Amino acid sequence: MGTRKLATAMELKLIQMWLHGKSPDSRRSYMRDIQDFLEFTHKPIEQITIADIIDWDSALALRYAPTSRKRKLAAIKSLFSFAHKNELISTNPGAAVPSPKTKDAISERILTEDEWERMLYAEPNRQHQLMLTLLYETRARVSEFCALKWKDIREKPDGAALVTLFGKGNKTRKVTITPQLWQVLKATKAADAKGDSPLFLNYRHKAYSTVQVWRIVKAAGERVGIYGVSPHWIRHTGATHQLINGSPLHLQQQELGHSGLNTTSKYLHILPGDYGAQYTKVKLPF
C-alpha cells in the first residue's frame, strides 16, 4: 500500500486548527497518531468511513497495549468530531466507534509512603533529590516541571512558597510547597540567576528535558528495586499521600488541574483515608 503523507491543504489546515492550543508534547503525540492513521487508511480525511476507523482500531489491538490503543483511537475520534462540529466534513465517522475499555491501573502507579521515602533517601545526587521532592510536593506534570523558572515561585508570609504551573489545556494553577523545601530550594539559586532562569540546570547548564527527568525518576526507583517508576507515578503518589493525610478533595482537584472531581476521586479508592503542601508528612532528607 505504501506510505501516505499529509497531502491536501484541507487536511493540513484542519489538523493545525485541531492542534491549536495544545501543549508541544500533545501536538507531537497527536501528529504521530494522525500520520499513522492516514498511512494505514491511505485515504483523504473527507473519504474516511466508520469501517476504516474500526479496521485501524483492530490493527492497533495487535500492536499496542490497551491504554495506548485507547489513547490513539481517542485522538482520531477527537479530530473527526472537531472537523464535523466545524462543518469541515459532512459526517463524523468516529462517533459510532466505541472506545475500548481498559483496566484502571492507577493503583499500580502509587508508591506507599515507605517506598517513596526509601526512593528519596537512596538518591545520591543532591540536586536530583531536590527535583524528586519538588515533583512530589507540586504534583506537577513532567512538562510543567521542566518549564519552571525562578519567577514562578513566590514566598508566602508563613515561609511556604506558591508555585505557578502552566500546562495541559493552557491552564495556569498554583500549588503550595512546604517551608522546608522552599528554604533548601532557595539556597540553591545562583547569584546570577534571573527570573527567567530555569529552576534546575543540567550538566550543560540548560534546563532539564522531559526525557532527562524521566531517566532520573526511573533510576531512583530502580535503585531501591521499584521498576517502571515515572514522573506521573510521583504525581499520583503525592496526591494520594496528601489525601490520606487529610487534604480536601476539592483542593486536590484544583492543584492537580483536573477538570472535574470524578478524575480526582479515583484516588479515594486506592488507599483508605480522608490534599496542599501542609498535608505532606514524609520527612525530607534535607
Residues 13 and 78 reside in one and the same domain: yes
* Domain range for 194: 106-279
pTM of the model: 0.64
Residue 172: φ, ψ to 5°? -105, 135
Provide the number of structural domains found in the chain.
Answer: 2
Looking at every residue in the chain, the average pLDDT score rounds to: 85
CATH number, residue 19:
1.10.150
Q: Computed over its alpha carbons, how large is the radius of gyration of the chain?
A: 22
Helix (H) or strand (E) holding 70: helix 66-85
Establish if 93 belongs to a structural domain.
Answer: no
Residues 126 and 81 reside in one and the same domain: no
pLDDT tens digits for range 13-47:
889 899 988 778 788 889 999 989 999 998 888 89
- Look at residue 21 in the predicted model and tell me its pLDDT: 80
Establish if 228 belongs to a structural domain.
Answer: yes
- Look at residue 105 in the predicted model and tell me its pLDDT: 53
Residue stretches of the chain with pLDDT short of 50:
1-4, 269, 271-276
Distances from the Cα of 60 to the Cαs of 36, 37, 247, in angstroms?
Answer: 10, 10, 40
Residues 79 and 163 reside in one and the same domain: no
Establish if 185 belongs to a structural domain.
Answer: yes
What are 142's three cell numbers?
A: 513532567
Establish if 166 belongs to a structural domain.
Answer: yes
Q: How far apart are CA 44 and CA 125, in angstroms?
A: 52
- Look at residue 216 in the predicted model and tell me its pLDDT: 97
- Look at residue 274 in the predicted model and tell me its pLDDT: 36
What are the start-end ranges of the H helices in 147-230?
A: 179-187, 210-223
Residues 70 and 181 reside in one and the same domain: no
- Look at residue 161 in the predicted model and tell me its pLDDT: 96
Q: How far apart are CA 279 and CA 123, in angstroms?
A: 23
Establish if 285 belongs to a structural domain.
Answer: no
- Look at residue 279 in the predicted model and tell me its pLDDT: 55
Residues 240 and 138 reside in one and the same domain: yes
